[in-house]
Structure 1
């Protein structure tokens, strides 16, 4: 376990770049002082932001580049177009070289997935990365994956996701035998596509995994399982729908409170309850997902988040390293993943 957690940041990724990445890193550093940063991007823009955060400046070094991957680039374009000089590539490269323990980027999802896979390679038995995130539920948090790294997935891929997600839940949620469910259109065993039903049969036969069956969409937030597994297309839609619903509820509450003086007075009496609800619905606190299945740790942040939201993604990176998630996943794959056969197909990432 390293004395310091070294985090490489793609300072040109996302909708804003350094103006969000650097302040976000400063917030995370305040929570985890035993962190060192490698800031990758335009030196002038980074130093302009670092001047406002002396403690972060002292804990950072800069790798200069003026090349950035745009949010519109396709994965293949990002790999061809100056791939070895872009801020995203160099942040991942720092992990490959052992100069950082984790890379964090708010940049193009497809490009990040392609670069990470190309540069760091996959763990044995895993054919492609998956984005895993923590999902707030009425019973606590659940691990949900894949949230949009790749489209589609056969039974082998879904079983691999279940193994990696279970390892993540053991480490982050401190659950010895986390329950595992497959996202489906119904809980009956006859429901869903053939690959989902086949994955369910395989998981049911794996004694080391606490498989509980199919989970419907409303069961994610209800805490039906500690780990919810789905392929990236469905997972990304579920994530965006949940984030949109959270914002919609917040807007409805603000409108209702503003309708009358009586509502405003009632709000004053229930202020702490409303604050608690707002915190639970805040998408910033769930920002960030780890790319599982790689021979290195890479975290994806939402491109449009603010500094506070980016700080949560950086926190993710810190915790992945401190809890030694990569070793735990390797151990579970070696023990439970013998039946996983890599699939040669490589569907394009969801952006």
Structure 2
């Protein structure tokens, strides 16, 4: 049974939608431990509970998590560190979660900067986007670390020989700033058989690569642009069907199953959240605007991460790359 700690106070829609997400996800194959204030926990029947008297608002400075040791986020990370739970899920402030996870859990040996890895939809099923928002400024060596972690994550999710691309403004090796140019050389050396070179934003969802490596600023912009585009497509489709004639509506009815699957594929809530990769513990970051459906899926991601032993896989991949200097 997977033991999940859930930050009831993290996110724009906390605690109501977080609690409802826990209820949606409740089943015999997992044990959910809710961490929240006394008031937030009043209606949380049927769950384990840990009461705190503090929580971090969404606009908090990231370093506050280290000082506020009785906040729901810090307590959740501490429970994970102590082995009381197997995974911690939060929709709270990304910077605070990263800082807290790094401070409380520590970094995996060989990783200087943990990063946020998110599976986004592609024609191949998924593409791992890393970093999706944890590190706005990075060095070339950090991008190599991200590639190693994303590569390992993709393999764990079922991709046997993941292809890696570096997010850039053009495909040519000479494109980009000094950091991306240096990272290109390092990635080519570290992953001679897997690194395909630079990729652009429109390549993320096409299946050209299985892992897209980026700094957190660019990666987060790319991810949220995809989410906005998906919402636009779904809303436009709905509006066109609503304003269509009887024959078109009949055709839409006959294709209802296709449209349901399309919505499921494009809806960012389906993917629940990303993993904070590079720390000594499994931490899932749900989107700050997560509703109950997204939280339920974030818990699903958390359980899958535990079952697939993501952390052990990343440790092994980091060691192999560091020991050999190249990936084999």
- Whether TM-score is above 0.5 comes out as yes
Between the aligned partners of 2:191 and 2:221, the Cα distance in structure 1 is 31
Whether 1:72 aligns to 2:72 is: no
Please report how far the alpha carbon of residue 310 of structure 1 lies from its aligned counterpart in structure 2 after TM superposition: 0.5
1:257 alignment partner, one of 197, 219, 241: 241
Between the aligned partners of 1:260 and 1:165, the Cα distance in structure 2 is 44
Q: Secondary structure at the match of 1:6?
A: strand
> TM-score normalised to the size of structure 2?
0.94
Please report how far the alpha carbon of residue 339 of structure 1 lies from its aligned counterpart in structure 2 after TM superposition: 8.6
> Residue in 2 aligned with 1:10?
7
Please report how far the alpha carbon of residue 44 of structure 1 lies from its aligned counterpart in structure 2 after TM superposition: 4.2
Between the aligned partners of 2:44 and 2:319, the Cα distance in structure 1 is 44
Please report how far the alpha carbon of residue 289 of structure 1 lies from its aligned counterpart in structure 2 after TM superposition: 0.7
> Residue in 1 aligned with 2:130?
145
Please report how far the alpha carbon of residue 207 of structure 1 lies from its aligned counterpart in structure 2 after TM superposition: 4.9
Between the aligned partners of 1:28 and 1:97, the Cα distance in structure 2 is 24
Q: Where in structure 2 are there 5+ consecutive unaligned residues?
A: none
Whether 1:286 aligns to 2:283 is: no
How many residues are matched?
A: 324
CA RMSD of aligned residues (A): 1.7
Q: Secondary structure at the match of 1:162?
A: helix
Please report how far the alpha carbon of residue 252 of structure 1 lies from its aligned counterpart in structure 2 after TM superposition: 0.9
> Residue in 1 aligned with 2:20?
23
Change (3 A) 1:249 1:158: same
Please report how far the alpha carbon of residue 335 of structure 1 lies from its aligned counterpart in structure 2 after TM superposition: 1.0
> TM-score normalised to the size of structure 1?
0.88
1:236 alignment partner, one of 220, 223, 226: 220
Between the aligned partners of 1:132 and 1:207, the Cα distance in structure 2 is 19
Change (3 A) 1:208 1:187: closer
1:84 alignment partner, one of 69, 85, 90: 69
Whether 1:39 aligns to 2:34 is: yes
Q: Deviations over 1:88-141 (max 9, x none)?
A: 110101001110111100111111111111111111221222110111112211
Q: Secondary structure at the match of 1:63?
A: strand
Contact 1:177 1:209 in 2 (8 A): no
